[in-house]
Amino acid sequence: MINSLVVDFLIRLKNSSLAQNKFVITPNSKYLRNLCDLLIKNGYLVSYEIQPDKKTLKIELSYRDEQPQISQVKLFSKPGRRWYQKAFSLPWGQSPDSLIIVSTSKGLMTQRQAKTLKIGGEILAEIN
């Protein structure tokens, strides 16, 4: 049983990229497709396609010089503890290249976008 689709999705991406897999199969949902779009826009994924059964996604992972773009995933919100922050107190990543994903009332966005729009929300994860 999967408690959180987002946690399962991010861990699948991390494990597959560290195993040097080209593709990963994950469950399909509108929320996960929006998360895929955000990760594609920031260069962590190449593309995704909905499988013919419409229940799964086939995601192509991104690599730079044979190194995976996703090497670490730090989860902030978990099923037992959700972490919400206001716009002025959103955390910065461990490195300038890290991506912090925030779920806001305007949809999924990066921490930088949320700060410029002055929108707070639930902090999901940090990807390095």
* pLDDT for residue 7 is more than 70: yes
Helix (H) or strand (E) holding 50: strand 45-50
For residues 26-53, average pLDDT: 97
Q: Where in the chain is the domain with CATH 3.30.1370.30?
A: 5-68
| CATH architecture classification, 5-68 | 2-Layer Sandwich (3.30)
- Would you say the C-alpha torsion 21, 72, 41, 58 has a positive or negative sign? positive
Span 49-100, pLDDT tens digits = 999 999 999 999 999 999 999 999 999 998 889 999 999 888 887 777 889 9
Which CATH number describes the domain made up of 73-127?
Answer: 3.30.1490.10
